[in-house]
A and B are shown apart, each in its own frame.
Chain A
Amino acid sequence: MFYVLAALIVLAALASVLAPSARLVLVAVMACEVLVGVLLIAAGAYLLGAIATVVPALSLLGVTALLRRAGYAPLLADAPGLATGWPLPVGAAGAIGVLLVWVTATRVDDVATSTSGPNLITLVHYRTPVSVGVAVVLAVVAIAGGLMIGRTGDDERVVDRAAESRRLREQRSRLRREHRAAARSQRDVGGGSQ
Chain B
Amino acid sequence: MTNPAYQDDEHYVAPFSEDTQFGELKDSAPAAKYRPSVTGWFGILVVGFWILIAVLGPFVAPYGENDLPFPDAYSEFQVPQPGAWLGTDVEDRDVLSRLLFGAGRTLGISITATVMAYFLGVVLGIGAVVAGPRVDLILSRINDAFLSLPTIMLGLVVVAAVGSSIPVLILTAGFIYTTIVFRLARSIGMEIVVMDYVEAARARGEGLWWIVTREVWPNAALPLVSDFGLRLIVVILFISSLSFLGLGVQPPQADWGSMVRENLGALQYGASVVPVVAPALAIASLTVGINLIVDDVSAGAGGKLAKRM
**A and B: partners?**
no
The chain B residues found within 8 Å of chain A, CB to CB, are none
